[in-house]
Amino acid sequence: MPFNKKTELNILINLAASDSRIEEKEAKLIRMVAQANGIPKEDIDEMIKNPKPITNISALTSDEKFEHLYYLIQMMKMDGQVFKSEIVFCEHIAEKMGYKKGIVAELSQHIYSDPSITSDRELLRKKAEKFIRG
């Protein structure tokens, strides 16, 4: 699955809106992440106003949830700086997908900001399984 900044940002927007609204702190962080990844402000505002639909989060497979979480964490690290607010946001989205928030810290240790540096996805998937809420 190639990394596409706008596609992944749309997923973040949809995930943030999965509880029927995007909170201001979520919108602020989405804008910050998008700008750090070179997406123009006009595009960001349009994407937030009119996100393209993705499947219902509950309909996502465990592999799709893992991939989205992987790219969410990678996007968080993309600018080389990780702020507390970004970690909290990632934990919030992880919880919406059915994970315990500790998954963000666990996976962050193994996910690199440079998309050309690949991680052992199978190892990370196994780690992620331990954080699924039961």
The domains of the chain are located at: 5-129
User: pLDDT for 63-113, tens place per residue?
Assistant: 888 988 988 888 788 777 788 888 888 898 899 889 999 999 999 999 887
The pair of structure tokens assigned to 32 is: 């910050």
pLDDT at 51 over 50: yes
Angle between helices 41-49 and 24-36 (to 10 degrees): 140
Give the model's confidence band at 1: pLDDT under 50 very low, under 70 low, under 90 confident, else very high.
very low
Contacts of 26 (CB under 8 A, 6+ apart): 16, 89, 92
pTM for this prediction: 0.71
User: pLDDT for 19-47, tens place per residue?
Assistant: 677 878 788 878 887 887 889 999 999 99
CA distance 3 to 71: 8
For residue 99, the cross-strand partners are 132
